[in-house]
Amino acid sequence: AQSVAQPEDQVNVAEGNPLTVKCTYSVSGNPYLFWYVQYPNRGLQFLLKYITGDNLVKGSYGFEAEFNKSQTSFHLKKPSALVSDSALYFCAVRDMNYGGSQGNLIFGKGTKLSVKP
């Protein structure tokens, strides 16, 4: 079965410092990986994805993620955190077990990012 794991329930960072939110995956075959952010009482916003190609993926709001096949990781990073980045971050993998091209997303448990001034 395909899955993603986010080992940290919460990450605390000071504003201006770099941030990393960790994600590891377990899939059969090539992974399709995504990061989403959720603000309180809001929907999930797409940040970035890895399908194929360069291991360093750049996304919205200055976020990037590095795909590491040997470590089966897809960590989310940002060089300089903002207070407004404080939110819940979900890593997700596309479920390809369906066998077709319309795979739903399987989410990690989420990591709460808190950026303090």
Partner 1 sequence: AAGVIQSPRHLIKEKRETATLKCYPIPRHDTVYWYQQGPGQDPQFLISFYEKMQSDKGSIPDRFSAQQFSDYHSELNMSSLELGDSALYFCASSLERTGYEQYFGPGTRLTVT
Task: State the residues that interact with partner 1 by CB under 8 A.
Answer: 32, 34, 36, 41-46, 49, 51, 90, 94-95, 98, 100-110
- Of residues 12 and 39, the one with the C-beta less far from partner 1: 39
- Of residues 80 and 98, the one with the C-beta less far from partner 1: 98
As measured in angstroms, the least distance from the Cβ of 77 to partner 1 is 19
As measured in angstroms, the least distance from the Cβ of 20 to partner 1 is 20
- Of residues 15 and 49, the one with the C-beta less far from partner 1: 49
**Inter-residue long-range contacts of 51-59, CB under 8 Å, 24+ positions, other chains counted:** 59/35
